[in-house]
Structure 1
Amino acid sequence: MRLEGRVAVVTGGGRGIGAAYCKALAEEGAAVMVADIDGTGAAEVAREITASGKRAASCTVDVSSKQSTSAMAQAAVDAFGGIDILVNNAAMYANLTRKGFEDISIDEFDRVMAVNVKGIWLCTMAVAPSMRQRGGGRIVNIGSGSVFVGGNGLVHYVASKMGVIGLTRALARELGGDKICVNTLIPGLTDSSSNRANTTTAYLESEAKQRCIEKIQTPEDLVGPLIFLSSDDSHFVSGQNLNCDGGRLFI
């Protein structure tokens, strides 16, 4: 197990792809803090992990709040002694409706940026002291292939995910001296319970036909790349984009 003895914090871990990340990290030996604004969902995922004999705990977090993200980091330190891995997965997406850019309200645009971009900054600030104390760490920010194609009716989401790439690069520069690697994992359109809220089967199938590997992407397809970026296998990789979409986009 490549993550034995490590502690991971996963935001947005209470459902969908985030839940798959939590379970995969636990299977590789990490103790996992499942963090989500839906505290009930986070607790259920943690319960499933502990029922399988692995280590997990849960907390409720609003990643757009400094107080909340600080409490999340402290909860992980209290439960497991420190933090080695942060997966910045929480994002506004499934609760958004595809619409033209002129039809998006200012409040909605601001909230997307607060969660999807500011949230990564706040979570990174919250966990960095513990990672420094432990001699290094891994931060995996979840991006989106939508930034390379643009027109999916969610301009605020697309803009926020391009912001994630820029933030990853800047953080990689600042944290490299602390032996903290920061990278972006970029999924293609993935069939998950969260994405089903605004994505039809027909849409998923049409995108699958554009891939070198012609299949609908599932959360399990992202597990290998996530573990790589979370483990010592990626000790000399930082500031990079790892695209995982079955060969739809070449970037």
Structure 2
Amino acid sequence: MRLKDRVAIITGAGQGIGRAYAFAFAREGAQVVVADLNEAKAKAVAEEVVAAGGRAIAVTVDVSDRHSVQAMVDATVTAFGTVHVLVNNAAVFATLTMKPFEEISVEEWDRVLAVNSRGTFLCCQAVAPVMRANKYGRIVNISSSVVQTGRAHYAHYVASKGAVWALTHALATELGTDGITVNSISPHGIVTEVPRGTITDDQWAGILADQALKRKGEVSDMVGATLFLASDDSKYMTGQTLGVDAGLRYT
């Protein structure tokens, strides 16, 4: 019960890794806000969490929109009284088509950065006053190993996650005096139920060859690290980016 009576907002929690976070946080005693752009998926996950004995509500949110994000935080405070934990999990990823950077349109670039970078910024900005009032907070941002590998044909995604990594360091400095920690996770090779057409079998073989652990990542591999950063187990850590990457070789 590492998160007993804590209130946690998890964005992008309607499926995949975010859904796993919702269940794991509830099992650890948190009151969970399942936030997602897809209202039906958010409600379904929240109902499943409640049916399993947890406490959860569903909130529809577009993280790229300031008013929508503020409404999410307001709904959380109305339901549970405060916010202790924010997991910035929502991102544009699985639907992206890999292409040379010259072929990425301005519209596609803006869409990816609006969700992945601006969305993280807006969510942090919206919860900060509540956390500052509490003199306590745990913010966990999700970056990516591609920031270090510079994966080709993914320039918009790499740039968006690089911004998340940098923002984590900046906010850790600004929020630390109020007892708020800000850390990020850099995952690699995590497979979810969400279809992805960006990696072929041959590419997977090459990826696994560069890993110390010779297997694909599972959703459960992300849960432990995220719970660690969301709980008081990591209370003396901030401004850090934790690699959950199977020992990926970056050089």
TM-score w.r.t. length of structure 2: 0.96
Counterpart AA for 1:50: V
Partner of 1:212: 212
Give the distance between the partners of 1:164 and 1:123, measured in 2 at CA.
Answer: 12
Report matched runs for 1:114-129 at 5 Å.
114-129=114-129
Report matched runs for 1:165-244 at 5 Å.
165-194=165-194, 196-200=196-200, 202-244=202-244
Give the distance between the partners of 1:197 and 1:20, measured in 2 at CA.
Answer: 22
Partner of 1:51: 51
Deviations along 1:196-227, whole A, 9 cap, x unmatched? Answer: 35344554454233221211101100111101
Counterpart AA for 1:76: T
Deviations along 1:38-88, whole A, 9 cap, x unmatched? Answer: 111111111111110001111110111110000000111111111000000
| Root mean square deviation, CA, Å | 1.5
Give the distance between the partners of 1:163 and 1:94, measured in 2 at CA.
Answer: 19
Deviations along 1:101-150, whole A, 9 cap, x unmatched? Answer: 01111011011111111111110111112112222110000000011111
- Kindly indicate whether the alpha-carbon contact (under 8 Å) linking 1:191 and 1:204 is maintained by their aligned counterparts in 2: no
Identity of aligned residues (%): 47
CA drift at 1:27: 1.2
Give the distance between the partners of 1:67 and 1:206, measured in 2 at CA.
Answer: 43
Q: Which runs of 5+ in 2 are unaligned?
A: none
Q: Which runs of 5+ in 1 are unaligned?
A: none
CA 1:26 to 1:148, structure 2 compared with 1: closer, same or farther past 3 Å? same
Counterpart AA for 2:66: K
SS of 1:196 mapped into structure 2: coil
- Kindly indicate whether the alpha-carbon contact (under 8 Å) linking 2:148 and 2:250 is maintained by their aligned counterparts in 1: no
Give the distance between the partners of 2:201 and 2:194, measured in 1 at CA.
Answer: 13
CA drift at 1:151: 2.4
SS of 2:53 mapped into structure 1: coil
Between the two proteins, the alignment pairs up a number of residues equal to 251
Report matched runs for 1:107-118 at 5 Å.
107-118=107-118
CA drift at 1:22: 1.3
CA 1:189 to 1:110, structure 2 compared with 1: closer, same or farther past 3 Å? same
Counterpart AA for 1:236: Y
- Kindly indicate whether the alpha-carbon contact (under 8 Å) linking 2:20 and 2:219 is maintained by their aligned counterparts in 1: yes
Give the distance between the partners of 2:143 and 2:123, measured in 1 at CA.
Answer: 15
CA 1:155 to 1:54, structure 2 compared with 1: closer, same or farther past 3 Å? same
- Kindly indicate whether the alpha-carbon contact (under 8 Å) linking 1:209 and 1:215 is maintained by their aligned counterparts in 2: no
Report matched runs for 1:15-164 at 5 Å.
15-164=15-164
- Kindly indicate whether the alpha-carbon contact (under 8 Å) linking 1:138 and 1:180 is maintained by their aligned counterparts in 2: yes
